[in-house]
Amino acid sequence: KIGFVGSLMKSKGIFELLDAFKIIKERNFDATLIYVGGEPENGNKFVNWFAKKLGLRQFMLSELKSKIIKSAYQLMDIVCVPGYFNAPGRQVIEAAFNKTPVILSITNPEDDTLIPFETGIPIPLKDHKKLAKAIVYCIKNRDKVKEMGLKAFELANKNFNPKSNSIKILNIYKNFFKT
């Protein structure tokens, strides 16, 4: 199951994902697209129209509401973040805390967030063919995907754990006000 979390906006890479998904379905790979999040006015209707035009509507699950985000991540084998921002979004961290690796559009990932083919897969921006290739890799290498998810979880706990980060910030304040 391939996940997408975010607003249904062009800048989030939803059309690249649908184009990639069309390639995957044409090659007869078994995959389902799950998307979670809100949409701009008429965004959902437009994405559904586009998916139908590509012949994909029957392979997409209905939109899941953000209130059940944790459950949604647990349904996904991989999360695609094909946005145009050349930066990791919150989805990368949320997915990692749910042991789900990501395919992220990014030029030079930082090793505190994504380690290529260890915690996720970086791809070039706006490249639906590379996105399709990365998804196919994940479909063919399910054990590797599970391993990447576990490593992503370890990396997120090391760098983004709210409790330990809060303690670090508190210590900064304490040291600052000591002087």
| 21 contacts 56 by C-beta, under 8 angstroms | yes
Q: In this predicted structure, what is the pLDDT of residue 59?
A: 45
Q: In this predicted structure, what is the pLDDT of residue 85?
A: 95
| 117 contacts 141 by C-beta, under 8 angstroms | no
**Could you give the CA distance from residue 20 to residue 11 in angstroms, rounded to a whole number?**
16
| pLDDT tens, residue by residue, 68-116 | 677 788 889 999 999 999 999 889 999 999 999 999 999 999 999 999 9
Average pLDDT of the residues in 34-60? 62
| pLDDT tens, residue by residue, 137-176 | 999 999 999 999 999 999 999 999 888 888 888 888 888 8
Residue 67, Ramachandran bin (φ over 0: left; ψ between -120 and 50: alpha; else beta) = alpha
Residue of 159 and 52 predicted with greater confidence: 159
Calculate the alpha carbon distances from 71 to 18, 56, 76 in Å. Answer: 23, 24, 9
| Per-residue pLDDT at 122 exceeds 50 | yes
Q: What percent of the residues of the chain are helix, what percent strand, and what percent coil, each to the nearest 5?
A: 55, 15, 35
| Per-residue pLDDT at 179 exceeds 70 | no
Q: In this predicted structure, what is the pLDDT of residue 117?
A: 97
Task: Tell me 65's DSSP state.
Answer: P
The H-or-E segment that residue 125 falls in is none
Tell me the CA end-to-end span of the chain in Å, nearest whole number: 54
Residue of 18 and 140 predicted with greater confidence: 140
